[in-house]
Amino acid sequence: MAIGQYSPLAQFLTPRLTCFKPALRELGIAMVESLLATMPAFTQHYPDVAKHQLWPMRLIAGESDGGVLPA
């Protein structure tokens, strides 16, 4: 388990870990499109693909950060 990345096991640890969860399917699609856009044979199919992107992640609040998120 990577530190910070969501794992189903995180809920069973004490204190329960605060972690993040990326949308892996959408991230995979974006990465492949970005890679294909760099290949001359596929550049015309992916002309508007961003070379750099910030990827949103969902925070899964636990108890390990010592803070409390407002409801």
Looking at the DSSP bridge assignments, the partners of residue 58 are 21
Supply the pLDDT for residue 1: 44
Q: Count the Cβ atoms, other than its own, within 10 Å of residue 68.
A: 8
Tokens describing residue 43: 């550049």
Q: Count the Cβ atoms, other than its own, within 10 Å of residue 47.
A: 7
Supply the pLDDT for residue 70: 59
Q: What is the pTM of this model?
A: 0.59
Per-block average pLDDT, block size 10, for the chain (71 residues)? 66 79 88 91 87 82 68 59
